[in-house]
Amino acid sequence: MQTSILILGAAGRLGQCLTRTFAAAGWQVIAQARKPLPDELSKLANVRTLNCDALDRAALLKGAQGASVVINALNPPYTEWHQLLLPLADAAQATAKALGALLMLPGNVYNFGNELPSLLTPNTPERANTPKAGLRIAMEARMAAEPGLDSVVLRAGDFFGGPGTGSWFDLALTSKLKSDRFIYPGPLDQTHAWAYLPDLAECFVRVAEKRNDLSGHHRLHYAGHSVEGRVMQQALEQAWGQPLKAGGLPWLAIRLGSPFVASWRAIAEMRYLWLRPHRLDDTELRLLIGEPPQTRLVTALRDSLVALGMPAAGVAAGTAGATAGATA
């Protein structure tokens, strides 16, 4: 029997990875997007594009008949979270419930507030002491409280890899790479949680395959790569093929300019994530799917550079990097 999935936000960075990975796994993918998908995705035989606004519940329901899983991969710009995050989540939730489908949400660590502990489990208390924490907590609470809705939050660290830009990885860490500089937003001895998007997308597939075992609401953590800044620097040096000089972000300038530049204000609000060491406990996820997918760090970084159009010497664009050297 063929299995169908609705991916909301399929043109986004995670959405593209999810579309590609579910299609490769044999799912019939309904890819919702307001803008065209890349040709490589839209031309796949088992991918059908649903061009509509994600807030148009009638269009979503009409176009997604038969879907047994819905993934809410919608992520408005930080500056529009207060206006769009919850309405988009409500539309996704209503669609999944009407279809009788499992609703899946890529979660993040914002829920734990600006004093998050070093080890994050699905039972770690949530703290709504930042604006984004409050929104994410409200979003997930609505999922958990909805009668008759089966749902999963799959939480992970900061994204890297896959198509597109807009993450800390490309906006900070690799922003000066062509000058052989490594820009790290926090102390190099602090552990930070990362998720390589192709691995996370494969994890979504494996959880979705357990749909019949997932009644009610579930919270799962994907550990990914939790490494200190200096370990990330060393791995990136191997991936790039050159030593890198470490530098930091101009936090003072960002803070001073934040009252006038909305995007800087959003960045400044997240600084605590680089000052609080943290990693995610994936025990519950392992009980469900076994060993989670995880590409070796140097390989994942090398392939991420290729995706950004910055292949190291000797690595052709569009090819996977070879494993080399020790990784975390």
CATH architecture of the region 4-163+194-224+277-295:
3-Layer(aba) Sandwich (3.40)
Look at residue 264 in the predicted model and tell me its pLDDT: 82
Q: Could you read off the pLDDT of 166-218 as tens digits, one per residue?
A: 899 999 999 999 999 999 999 999 999 999 999 999 999 999 999 999 999 99
**Mean pLDDT for the stretch of residues 89-115:** 97
Look at residue 33 in the predicted model and tell me its pLDDT: 95
- Of the candidates 263, 19, 221, the one whose C-alpha atom is nearest the C-alpha of residue 106 is 221
- Of the candidates 175, 218, 171, 167, the one whose C-alpha atom is nearest the C-alpha of residue 197 is 167
Number of Cβ within a 10 Å radius of residue 314: 8
- Asked whether residue 314 carries a pLDDT value surpassing 70, the answer given is no
Number of Cβ within a 10 Å radius of residue 223: 20
Distance, in Å, from the CA atom of 317 to the CA atom of 324, rounded to the nearest integer, reads 18
Distance, in Å, from the CA atom of 274 to the CA atom of 173, rounded to the nearest integer, reads 12
The reported pTM is 0.93
Distance, in Å, from the CA atom of 128 to the CA atom of 120, rounded to the nearest integer, reads 16
- Asked whether residue 265 carries a pLDDT value surpassing 90, the answer given is no
Q: What is the mean pLDDT of the chain?
A: 92
Angle between helices 81-99 and 131-145 (to 10 degrees): 10
φ and ψ at residue 292, rounded to 5 degrees: -70, 150
Distance, in Å, from the CA atom of 10 to the CA atom of 47, rounded to the nearest integer, reads 11
Confidence bin at 327 (pLDDT 50/70/90): very low
Look at residue 2 in the predicted model and tell me its pLDDT: 58
Look at residue 261 in the predicted model and tell me its pLDDT: 84
**Mean pLDDT for the stretch of residues 246-266:** 87
Domain boundaries, the chain: 4-163+194-224+277-295
Distance, in Å, from the CA atom of 104 to the CA atom of 94, rounded to the nearest integer, reads 13
Distance, in Å, from the CA atom of 154 to the CA atom of 195, rounded to the nearest integer, reads 11
φ and ψ at residue 238, rounded to 5 degrees: -65, -40
Confidence bin at 326 (pLDDT 50/70/90): very low
